[in-house]
Structure 1
């Protein structure tokens, strides 16, 4: 199995095969329009602008499983991301990333790379950990995605290389992307 075995629904309702991205490095993320990490849309757009010419794609999947932070539809989310944050990378339809209704692509991604222990070094990390612990304690276990803006780096061959938690440094993510182009 690889990431290429999956289909995804675009924000406009069209079904897209992940085969479309064969040979490209991908950063796949679950996002939300009203999250404390929403500023990352702009950071992700900067990465996309910098590396798109090198066969790099960012695939954004809105998700409303964490604190009702993306109540909009996929199409509304895409319009908001383009208008408010200048996003030009693909925004897909809204998905679930945990539980019985987990999108098959995210089920695959989260089982390919283990989650790292959550750091509690900064105030933001402590607050996020305690919110998850109080509201979604099961998300701290196993392969679950813990919050919005969890990112999966996929190489040119469809292999999941790394998982980055929402508070991961964009510099660390960019360094991992650069290694795949080396």
Structure 2
């Protein structure tokens, strides 16, 4: 696969989403969890989405229960938590695995395109983030500790590319 546009995933509401619909969008793809120390980042992710969605940014959240079993809920519980606790309006997808043999194909590709610290390909924890340019290529990978607001400059650069 050569771009994110070749993938698909199932939204939290059960709709199959072909990522070709995201052509010409900048994407911020994040593995999320409801019971994690980084869960308050939902607020910052939503703020980024609200700030930049009219310019072409989409935040895509992928719940994952692989790290400390910090996403135990089903789709309805996840949707309710995200909406009620953080006012999340960006798209959320069904719970997936991001590491190991059951890793979602999107995450297998993301990890192969941009390694983490010291060349590691595996996702280390919840709220690892991938910034995808309008061309569907991975621009940057950010660890869990990177706060959403710290990515503003990179997001703005990605939004400007291909939009001039």
Instruction: Return the TM-score normalized by structure 2.
Output: 0.93
Kept in 2: contact 1:75–1:93 (CA 8 A): no
Distance 2:146 2:86 in 1: 20
Q: Deviations over 1:88-146 (max 9, x none)?
A: 000110000000100000111111011024xxxxxxxxxxxxxxxxxxxxxxx830000
Distance 1:145 1:165 in 2: 9
What do you get for the CA RMSD once the two structures are aligned?
A: 1.2
- The answer on 1:164 being equivalent to 2:149 is no
2:22 maps to: 21
Aligned pair count reads: 159
Distance 1:82 1:162 in 2: 27
**Which residue of 113, 125, 128 maps to 1:147?**
125
Q: Over alpha carbons, which structure has the higher Rg?
A: 1
Distance 2:75 2:157 in 1: 32
Q: Deviations over 1:32-53 (max 9, x none)?
A: 0000000000010100000010
Distance 2:77 2:133 in 1: 30
- The answer on 1:79 being equivalent to 2:57 is no
Deviation of residue 174 (structure 1)? Answer: 1.1
Distance 1:116 1:145 in 2: 10
Distance 1:75 1:5 in 2: 28
Deviation of residue 27 (structure 1)? Answer: 0.1
Q: Deviations over 1:12-62 (max 9, x none)?
A: 111110111111000000000000000000010100000010011000000
Q: How does 1:1-182 map to 2 (within 5 A)?
A: 1-117=2-118, 142-182=120-160
Distance 1:80 1:62 in 2: 12
Q: Secondary structure at the match of 1:29?
A: strand
Kept in 2: contact 1:74–1:91 (CA 8 A): no
Kept in 1: contact 2:116–2:141 (CA 8 A): yes
Q: Which runs of 5+ in 1 are unaligned?
A: 118-140
Instruction: Return the TM-score normalized by structure 1.
Output: 0.84
